[in-house]
Structures are given as C-alpha cells and as structure tokens.
C-alpha cells in the first residue's frame, strides 16, 4: 500500500469497478439468461405469490412468498440474510424492491424497509442481488479520509505517522494470568499504543481470545467505549460467543437480525427495541398502528379525483367551501379526509421514529462493547457515536476503504489478523491492479513493526500438521502448546488411510474434473465418491460426524460433497476460515493433463486449508496435475517423508 495520499485516489476508481462487476453480473444474468435456467443455478426462485406478513424486529416490513405450483423446488443458493431483488415474472428487469431473506422453508419471508404494493393477480420472482450500500460507505470513508480536518485527518495520522505514541496504561488493569507470554505482550501493546497497533495471529494461536481480553479489559476496567468489528457477520458472531464464554454480557450486536446467529438475537439492538417496555414508545406504537388502520380503511380517492392536486392545494380548496376545478364539495371533502388521515399517520410514525432513535442512541451509549461489521459501522445508527477503542478482527481480509469506515469513528485502532491467510475477495482484475486487495493490516505490520506482536504459541494442530505451514509461511516461529502433544489418534491401527497425522492420497490419472455450466466452477465426481468411501469407513469406526470437516476450493465440488452426509460440515476454503475439526479432508478437485490448477496456486488459500485440522489431515488430489507448482511439490515431498503417501491404483 502506497502511503502517498494521491495514489489512494485510485482506490475510488477500484471501488467503482468492483461494484459494477458485482451488480452487472446479476443484472446481465437476469437480462440474458432464461428465468428457469437462473432458478436451476440456485440464484432465483420463480412463480411466487406474495402477501404482506406484518412486521419483524426493527419494524421492518415482512412479505411472504410461496410457490404457485406444487412442483418440487430446485435446490437454491438463496439463504437467510441474503440480499434479494423482487420483480414481477412478466417484467424481471424492473426492480420493485430490494430486501433481505428473513427465513426460507416452504415459504420465503423477505424483509424490506417499507411496504410495496402487491398485485394479487401477478406472479413474482426473487433473485440474488448485489447490494451497493457497502461500496457507498467505502466511498464516503475515502472522501472523509481526504479531508484535512476531523476524523479523516486523525485517521491519516494514525496510519502514516512514523513515530510510535503510547497512551494511558493503568497498572490497575488486571493482566489475564492464563495468557501465554506472546499473548500477554500483544494484550499490553494493544492497550498501551495510543493510535494504531496490530496483533498477528497465525492459525490456532488464539488471536480472537486475545482481542476479546483486550476489549474486556478496556471496557470493564478502563471504562472505554469499545467497538469490535470485522468484514463478515460470521467473524463478529465468533467474538460475541467468545464474550459470552468470558461471562461478559454487556455488549450490543448491531446489524440485520437475519444476518447474525439466531442465538445472539437477544443481544441485538433490534431485539431490545422490539421488546422495550418504554412507556412513550409503547404508547406511540399503539397510536401509530391505529392511525395506519384508519388510513387503510379510507379508500384512496384515485388519480381521476386527485387531478394532480397537492396535499396543500386540497386543504386550501376545503377552506373555500366552494366547487373548484370541476370538483363538488362532497368530492373535496373525500380528498380532505384522505389528506388529514395520511398526515396524521405520517406524524405518528415520525414521532415514533424519533423516540426509537433516542432509545437506540441510549442503548449504544450504555453498552460497554458494541459489535458490528465494518460496513454497518458506516450506517446511520452509528453516525453520531464515537468510540475510544476499535478492534478490527480479520483485518487481513478487509481492503483499505472498508477498514477506514470504523476507524473514522474511533480514537485508536487495533488490527487483528494474519496476512498469510485469506486476503480480501476482489473480483475485478483492474480493481486488484489499483490496490483494492491491499490491507491496512499488512501496511501497519510492515511500517510500524514495534506497534504490534506476533502470537507464537498454537493450541490447535499436532506437530506434523503444523510443521509444513510453520516452515513455509511463519519462519518456524510458532511452537505448540503442551496439550497438542497429548492428542490421541482418531484413526485406528490398520486403517486403510493409515494412522498418520497427515496423509496424501494421489489419484493420478484415475479421476476426471468437470467444469459446471451453472456455477462456472470445477467438480470431480469420482473424487467425491472416494471421499464418500473414507467417510463410510470413519462412520464404521464410530468417529462422530461433528468431528469431521471437508474442504474443497470449489463451490461446485462442495455442493456435491454435502450430499455425502448432512451431519458433516462441508465448506469452501473461505467458509472454513477461523474453523477447526479433529479430522479434515481436503478435496483438491483438479485433474488434467495440462497441469492447470487455477486459483489453487494461491498460497494463502492453501495455508488456510492445511491449518484447520487438529489431529488428522487427509489430502486427496492428482499429484501430477500439481507437479509444476513449487509449493505443492514441496508439500507432496514433505508428506512422503513425514506422513503417509498413498498412490491409488485402478
């Protein structure tokens, strides 16, 4: 990342390119692809009847969609929390509303910010859509960053000032006695550094634990107002559960309830608002609902009667009590009743919103710790709030403009992550060239090494599993805690895949890869079948499915692998970031004579894949296909020497 502010302006262009890439993908597919084909690909649900279903948390309008026919619904990629686009079947290019999936089963419930008119004669469709809100918030953060006053200037100083400043660090703050030495040092630097610091947490070293301890120490003992954020809702939920583990319940989760773990719903701002016993709010809600019912009972006068008259003109006509513009007195009275009822309705809801906003502000101030995604930090609900400390978890996955959003409302910032694991997801190639994959985490780690600490004790992997990534990406700086040496073998003696901590199964020339039209993603069905055989053996040996994880780099392969067992966790590499299992199976998929491995050459993805297993790691793939890749060659050699290498035969 170039520290020249002028060069950062390229990021604005990069944001625009990435936004267009995402939006145009869905827009073009809706325009060009037959509706039925898009439904088959899991990105749309067609022929839906709609009806309004009341309200949910946050006073969001709920609309229920159900299938017209009894035809079995195709499996869909649409999930709870997804942003979707609502349109009519006969006019798919005209967007009626954007919404969020609240629930999906036999019916699909969608929340929208406001109610939209439903035509009972029409059928609707919902499509996965891109939401440009995050892009707009990133652009706003960049604009603020350029300003030479206020939060933008303070943020620039945090990032670009070379000298290290130290803040207040009271000796009264209790040092967590069960942290190891590197964790204690990271905890101290995090609390002591005045402006910006980092915690480099390699796999299994407890970076989330340290970040949570810092938050609790700052909030409970120093009485700081703490903001914890991350690029994803999953990462935020992980920290929320860690806070509960530490018996700290004085936190507030901000964000759409459909995008957070349902177990955390009661800690959300929307839940607290929906269940408040505040007399004023309860009273105003009752009055607002009555006003809405009253308005609903009054028939809309219609365009022919309204004749383009504004509300003010209608009220003026009523005062004259004379026939005007071809309208009789009784018609004017109808118009008046409508206008007065509408104004009453609007007034009640405005007052309600004012009181609810006051309630939200109060709850945010009362909470010692506030949790939100980086994007949500730029929402209206937090725009009038400032925090003493911001902890940005998974900072190595946050592009610069995204990281700036929470930094603008915080006094100091701690970046927590690992630059050797997954980087930000950027689809547009030109945006990558312009620097959108760059992160503040890597910049601060490089430019201000004294402002942070690398954690060096890992608690997850057995030694042989750790050994390769340790030497390849962490200069052998990581050592294992005593507990990993006490792990017992999950695999029994005589196992067809051996007992080794790390096993490679070479399928050279036996299996065939296929490119799917639906997802433009690779799958290898023979490899799926072989994974199924391994799972069958593990089941016979009474190994719990909950202790097994399957990783594949490709979405299409992950879909097929999920069919093996509903009880085994299957994800792409991105989905397994931050996760761990006793036994991990990696399905590499690629098998071709051209030795083309695509994005599997990304070392960061390989690092994540190799570091999820606690006791046993099993890799299945075509060794020859990967033979021209240096890192994979080294991996195969390492396993042949230190693990169990199996070459499948016909």
Name the H helices within 180-328: 181-192, 207-216, 233-245, 269-274, 279-297, 303-306, 311-320
Least Cα distance to 197 among 478, 5, 476, 454 occurs for 454
- Asked if 36 and 46 count as a contact pair (C-beta separation under 8 A), the reply is yes
Its sign, for the CA torsion 13, 15, 17, 19, is negative
Q: What value does the mean pLDDT take over residues 528-547?
A: 93
- Asked if 357 and 379 count as a contact pair (C-beta separation under 8 A), the reply is no
* Percent of the chain whose pLDDT exceeds 90: 58
Confidence of residue 402 (pLDDT cuts 50, 70, 90): very high
- Asked if 560 and 573 count as a contact pair (C-beta separation under 8 A), the reply is no
* The predicted structure's pLDDT at residue 2: 46
- The contacts of residue 507 (CB under 8 Å, 6+ apart) are 526, 527, 530, 591, 620, 621, 622, 648
DSSP E strands, 532-612: 548-551, 569-571, 581-587
Strands 369-373, 226-230: parallel, antiparallel or unpaired by DSSP?
parallel
Q: What value does the mean pLDDT take over residues 386-391?
A: 96
597-640 pLDDT, tens digit each:
998 999 999 999 999 999 999 999 999 999 999 999 999 999 99
Is 616 exposed, middle or buried (CB count within 10 Å of its CB: 0-12, 13-18, 19+)? buried
Measured CA to CA, the distance from residue 140 to residue 138 in angstroms comes to: 5
Confidence of residue 314 (pLDDT cuts 50, 70, 90): low
Q: What are the distances in angstroms from CA 42 to CA 37, 75, 123, 230?
A: 9, 6, 19, 28
What element of type H or E holds 638? Answer: helix 630-642
When the pLDDT of each residue in the chain is averaged and rounded to a whole number, the result is: 88
Half-sphere exposure of 371 (CA within 13 A, CB side): 31
Q: Which residues does residue 586 pair with via DSSP β-bridges, in sequence order? A: 551, 619
Strand order in the sheet with 502-506: 569-571, 548-551, 581-587, 613-621, 502-506, 644-647
- Asked if 408 and 227 count as a contact pair (C-beta separation under 8 A), the reply is no
Least Cα distance to 408 among 85, 40, 158, 56 occurs for 158
Q: What are the distances in angstroms from CA 593 to CA 62, 623, 628?
A: 53, 11, 11
CA–CA–CA angle 311, 317, 319 (5° rounding)? 110
329-388 pLDDT, tens digit each:
777 777 777 777 777 777 777 888 889 899 999 999 999 999 999 999 999 999 899 999
183-193 pLDDT, tens digit each:
999 999 999 88
DSSP character for 563? T
State both tokens at 320. Answer: 């004259």
Q: What value does the mean pLDDT take over residues 123-149?
A: 90
What element of type H or E holds 435? Answer: none
* The predicted structure's pLDDT at residue 433: 93
* The predicted structure's pLDDT at residue 116: 84
Half-sphere exposure of 530 (CA within 13 A, CB side): 26
* The predicted structure's pLDDT at residue 549: 96
Its sign, for the CA torsion 229, 231, 236, 239, is negative
Q: Residue 306 above 70 pLDDT?
A: no
428-443 pLDDT, tens digit each:
999 999 999 999 999 9
- More confident of the two residues 68 and 594: 594
- The contacts of residue 103 (CB under 8 Å, 6+ apart) are 80, 109, 258
- More confident of the two residues 551 and 311: 551
- Asked if 445 and 452 count as a contact pair (C-beta separation under 8 A), the reply is yes
Q: What value does the mean pLDDT take over residues 239-245?
A: 95
């Amino acid at each position: 990342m170039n520290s020249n502010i002028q060069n950062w302006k390229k990021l604005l262009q990069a944001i625009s390119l990435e936004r267009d890439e995402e939006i145009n993908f869905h827009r073009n597919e809706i325009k060009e692809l037959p509706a039925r084909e898009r439904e088959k690909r899991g990105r749309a649900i067609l022929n839906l009847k709609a009806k309004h279903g009341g309200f949910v948390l946050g006073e969001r309008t709920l609309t229920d969609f159900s299938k017209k026919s009894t035809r079995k619904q195709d499996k869909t990629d649409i999930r709870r929390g997804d942003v979707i686009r609502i349109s009519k079947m006969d006019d798919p290019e005209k967007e009626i509303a954007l919404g969020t999936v609240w629930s999906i089963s036999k019916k699909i419930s969608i929340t929208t910010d406001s109610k939209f008119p439903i035509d009972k004669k029409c059928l609707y469709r919902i499509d996965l859509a891109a939401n440009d809100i995050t892009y707009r918030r990133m652009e706003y953060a960049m604009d603020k960053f350029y300003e030479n006053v206020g939060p933008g200037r303070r943020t620039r100083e945090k990032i670009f000032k070379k000298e290290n400043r130290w803040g207040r660090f009271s000796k009264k703050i209790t040092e967590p006695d069960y942290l190891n030495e590197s964790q204690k040092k990271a905890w101290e630097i995090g609390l002591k550094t005045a402006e910006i610091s980092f915690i480099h947490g390699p796999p299994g070293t407890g970076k989330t634990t340290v970040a949570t301890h810092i938050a609790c120490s700052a909030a409970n003992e120093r009485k700081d107002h703490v903001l914890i954020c991350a690029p994803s809702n999953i990462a935020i939920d992980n920290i929320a559960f860690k806070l509960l583990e530490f018996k700290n319940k004085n936190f507030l989760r901000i964000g759409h309830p459909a995008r957070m773990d349902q177990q955390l719903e009661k800690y959300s701002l929307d839940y607290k608002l929906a269940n408040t016993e505040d007399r004023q709010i309860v009273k105003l809600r009752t009055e607002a609902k009555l006003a809405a019912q009253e308005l609903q009972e009054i028939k809309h006068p219609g365009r022919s009667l309204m004749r383009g008259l504004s509300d003010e003109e209608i009220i003026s006509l009523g005062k004259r009590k004379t026939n005007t513009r071809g309208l009789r007195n009784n018609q004017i009275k109808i118009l008046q009743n409508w206008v007065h009822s509408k104004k009453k309705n609007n007034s009640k809801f405005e007052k309600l919103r004012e009181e609810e906003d006051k309630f939200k502000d109060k709850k945010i101030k009362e909470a010692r710790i506030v949790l939100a995604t980086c994007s949500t930090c730029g929402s209206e609900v937090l725009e009038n709030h400032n925090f003493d400390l911001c902890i940005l978890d998974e900072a190595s996955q946050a592009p610069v403009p995204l990281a700036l959003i929470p930094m603008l409302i915080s006094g100091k910032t701690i970046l927590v992550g690992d630059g050797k694991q997954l980087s930000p997801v950027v689809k547009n190639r030109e945006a990558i060239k312009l620097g959108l994959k760059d992160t503040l985490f890597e910049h601060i780690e490089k430019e201000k090494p004294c402002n942070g600490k690398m954690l060096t004790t890992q608690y997850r992997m057995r030694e042989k599993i750790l050994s390769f990534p340790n030497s390849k990406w962490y200069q052998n700086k990581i050592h294992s805690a005593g507990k990993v040496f006490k792990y017992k073998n999950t695999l029994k003696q005589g196992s067809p895949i051996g007992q080794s901590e790390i096993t490679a199964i070479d399928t050279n020339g036996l299996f065939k890869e296929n490119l799917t039209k639906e997802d433009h993603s690779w799958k290898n069905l023979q490899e799926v079948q072989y994974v199924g055989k391994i799972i069958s053996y593990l089941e016979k040996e009474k190994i719990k499915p909950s202790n097994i994880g399957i990783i594949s780099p490709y979405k299409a392969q992950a879909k097929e692998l999920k069919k093996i067992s509903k009880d085994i966790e299957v994800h792409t590499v991105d989905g397994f970031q931050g996760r761990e299992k006793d036994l991990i199976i990696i399905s590499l998929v690629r098998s071709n004579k051209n030795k083309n491995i695509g994005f599997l050459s990304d070392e960061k993805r390989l690092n994540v894949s190799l570091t999820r297993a606690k006791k046993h790691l099993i890799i299945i793939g075509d060794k020859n296909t990967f033979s021209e890749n240096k890192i994979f060659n080294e991996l195969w050699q390492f396993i042949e020497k230190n693990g169990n290498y199996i070459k499948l035969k016909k």
